[in-house]
Structure 1
Amino acid sequence: MTHIRPATPADVPQILRFVRDLAEFEREPDAVKATEPMLDAALFGPDAVAEAVIAELDGAPVGFALFFRNFSTWTGLPGLYLEDLYVTPAARGAGVGTALLRHLAGIAVDRGYGRFEWAVLDWNTPAIDFYRAMGAAPLDEWTVQRVSGDALARLAGRA
C-alpha cells in the first residue's frame, strides 16, 4: 500500500534525484539547474514557494509530487498547480500515481481551492491516458507561453 507524507528537509536530496530522473524521462537530462540548496529554500525556507509530498512503498521513497498555489480571477479562488509528479519505473502500475493525485486533490478540496491543474507533454500518451482515467479534462484551446533566460531579462528591460 502506498503511503503519502509531506516532504521534509531531509528529503531534498531524494527530491532532486527524482527531478533529474523525470528530466531524463522527458528527454531533457541536461535541463535541470536546480540544486539541493535551491530546492531546500523553495520548499522549506522563510519564503517557501512550493510544497512536496513523498510516496513510499514498504518505507522506501518511490515517487513525489511538487506543487504550489496559484489563483484564478474567474473563480475568485486559489488553485493547486502540480509542477512535477514522478513515480519510479519499478513502482509504476502499483497505484502510486493514483495515490499521489488523490492526495493532492484532497489537499485542494480541504483548502477550498477551486482547481487542480497541471501540464503534460503532448507525446506522453501513457500519462495523458492515466490523467483522463482520473477525470482530468484537456484544455486544448490553451497554449502555455514561457519567457525565460535572456528573453526574460530583455522583456524586463534588464539586458
Structure 2
Amino acid sequence: MVKVARLTIRPARPEDAEDIHAGLRGIAETIGAPHKVKSTPDDIRNFGFGENAAFEVLIAEIDSRFAGMCLYFPIFSSWLGRPGVFVQDLFVAESFRGMKVGEKLLRRLAHDIDTQGGVYIELAVDTGNLAAQRFYERIGIAHQGDDQVHRIAGDAFRAFAKNDEEHE
C-alpha cells in the first residue's frame, strides 16, 4: 500500500518561530549567504506575532512535518488603488521540493488576499537564484523589468535617520 502525503497550510503560531528561522537560514544557504541572516527565532516571535505584527507567515506541513513557509506583509499600490502583499521569503525544505509546496503556499496566499480585497503579490528574487527565478516564471509570477529595488540598511540607515535636520 502506498501512503499519500497530506499537505496542510495554516497560519504560523509563535511556537513556529524556530522552523521559520530555519527556513530563513535555508534560503540564505541556498544563495550562499548564510552570514547575512542576523535575525533570531526571538526576533521572529517578537515581531511576527501579537497586535502589531510586522509580518505574517503561512506554514506548510506534510504529515505534520514542517515542509515550508511563506513570510509576507501587506503593501498598497497607489497606482492600482488596491492592497496586495509582498512575499519576503518563500522556503520549501529540501526533502519536500518537487511536491509543489511552494506553489501551493503562494496560491493559498493569493486566495486569502483576494478574499480580503487585495489584487496582487509582489516579491523580489536574489539575482543569483536562477532556480527561484525559473520557478516564479513557470507559475506565472513574471519579472517586472520596469522597477528597480533601492535599499538603505544597517549603519548607513542609522546615519541617514540621525541626519534629519528638520527635527533637530
TM range (shorter): over 0.9
Q: CA RMSD in A?
A: 1.5
- 1:124 aligns with 129
- Of all paired residues, the percent bearing the same amino acid is 37
- 1:22 aligns with 27
User: Deviation per CA, 1:5-50, whole angstroms, max 9, x where unpaired?
Assistant: 1111111111111111111112111111112221112111332111
User: Deviation per CA, 1:68-126, whole angstroms, max 9, x where unpaired?
Assistant: 00111111111111000000111100111111111111122111112111011222222
CA contact (8 A) 2:69 2:90 kept: yes
Please, which runs of 5 or more residues in structure 1 have no aligned partner? none
1:46 aligns with 2:47: no
Max radius of gyration: which structure? Answer: 2
1:112 aligns with 2:105: no
- TM-score after normalising by structure 1: 0.93
- 1:73 aligns with 78
Please state whether the residue corresponding to 2:98 is helix, strand or coil: coil
Counterpart code for 1:45: G
1:35 aligns with 2:40: yes
- 2:154 aligns with 149
Please, which runs of 5 or more residues in structure 2 have no aligned partner? 1-5
- Runs of 4+ deviating beyond 2 Å: none
